[in-house]
Amino acid sequence: MTNRENRQLKKIKKGDKEALEQLFHLYYAGLCNYAESLLHKPEVAEEVVQDVFFNIWKNRAKLELHTGWQSYLFRAVYNNAMMHIRKAKREMSLDEQWAQQQLLAGDNPGDAMELRDLQAAILFTMGKLPARTREIFHMSRFEHMKYKEIAEKLSISVKTVEANMGRALKTLRITLEAYNKRN
């Protein structure tokens, strides 16, 4: 951390709004571009970056900076973006499950119960898959990523993605066949 950054941190800790504004103007555009590359939504990216600066101001009295501002800010944006993605996935997953149940179940309580049983069997089977296989399956089927995109994101080969998808689909096929025999 440079002397200039150290002085700026001290000013912010003392409540100097101008010091925070200078920091904001210096890094805002770059942080928004970075956040947008992670989130693919400009308005959400801006919100994530603004939250970082809001949190700096809110927690200024106990703020500790062991690296330079740039490292700190980019790491904070990354962390906030990942929290946003996880939250959005949880909400989307629950909404999708509910909508699917309503659509498939219709007005028949027996159909709704059967659908819940099938979903439980699938979730149980997915839970038994190795973590990497489950992650690859989720990226392919729920995030609609292509095998090549998954391979790049996870730094693995496309063949490894294909092998894991084959394993996941085979396991799910066995579960569905067993489910169909019971019903």
pLDDT digits over 87-119, tens only?
Answer: 777 665 555 655 555 555 555 566 666 667 777
Please state which of the four CATH numbers 1.10.260.40, 1.10.3080.10, 1.20.810.10, 1.10.1740.10 is assigned to the domain occupying 3-85. 1.10.1740.10
Whole-number average pLDDT of the chain: 85
Q: What pLDDT sits at residue 125? A: 81
Cα 93 to Cα 105: distance, rounded to the nearest angstrom = 18
The amino acid sitting at 7 is R
| DSSP annotation string for 84-145 | HHHHHHHHHHHHHHHHHHHHHHTT-HHHHHHHHHHHHHHHHHHHHS-HHHHHHHHHHHTS--
Q: What pLDDT sits at residue 89? A: 72
Q: Extract the residue ranges of the chain whose pLDDT is less than 70.
A: 90-115, 183
Q: What pLDDT sits at residue 107? A: 55
Could you tell me the residue ranges of all domains in the chain?
3-85, 106-182
Which DSSP letter does residue 84 get? H
pLDDT digits over 30-44, tens only?
Answer: 999 999 998 888 888
Long-range contacts: 121-125, Cβ < 8 Å, 24+?
Answer: 121/175, 121/176, 121/179, 122/172, 122/175, 122/176, 124/175, 125/171, 125/172, 125/175
CATH class of 106-182: mainly alpha
Cα 152 to Cα 82: distance, rounded to the nearest angstrom = 18
Q: What pLDDT sits at residue 91? A: 61
Q: What pLDDT sits at residue 79? A: 93
Q: What pLDDT sits at residue 16? A: 95
pTM for the structure as a whole:
0.52
Q: In the 3-class helix/strand/coil scheme, how is 127-142 assigned residue by residue?
A: HHCCHHHHHHHHHHHC
